[in-house]
A = this chain, B = another copy of it.
Amino acid sequence: MRSVVSRLPVRYAETDRMGVVHHAVYPVYFEVGRTDFFDTHFMHYDEMERLGLFAAVIEYDCALKGRATYGDVLVVETRGEWMRGIRLHMGYTCRRERDGGLVAQGSSTLALVDSAGRPIHPRHFPDLYRTLLGLFDPGDQGAP
């Protein structure tokens, strides 16, 4: 399974008055991880969009496992978990850099769509599709 690691210093604006990173920030961190994943293993997602290929998040989840705040640097591991048809599933693990402590885990399912949000059939981008498919597990396991 392909993966990539992103390094994210927590921003002050990302904390809330509980003193920790607000829970709704993690999907943003995961999106940064996804950018790095595509950029490393495929092409920059901005380039994908310019080719008319959009990956829209259709569902996601996040579990908070530990504390992170301003002053912490977070390390997000992003994994390409499975791909089936035009759906991709990616997993994320977020740890504190200083002690490796687990902070959050999550996943997201994305659908390949055009700029208007309509599903794109793989036959409209056969070469890119084959390359993308090679980055993911076939989806026989783990996919719902």
- Asked if residues A64 and B71 are in contact (CB atoms below 8 Å), the reply is no
- Asked if residues B70 and A64 are in contact (CB atoms below 8 Å), the reply is no
Which of the candidate stretches A20-28, A81-89, A130-138 sits at the interface with the other chain? A20-28
Contacts of A11 in B (CB 8 A): 28, 31-32, 35
CA distance A17 to B25 in the complex (A): 14
A13 at the interface (CB under 8 A from B): yes
Considering only residues 1-58 of chain A, those with a C-beta below 8 Å from chain B are 9, 11-13, 15-20, 22-25, 27-28, 31-32, 35, 44-47, 54, 56-58
Known: A67-B117, A117-B67. A13 touches B22 (CB 8 A): yes
- Asked if residues A17 and B69 are in contact (CB atoms below 8 Å), the reply is yes
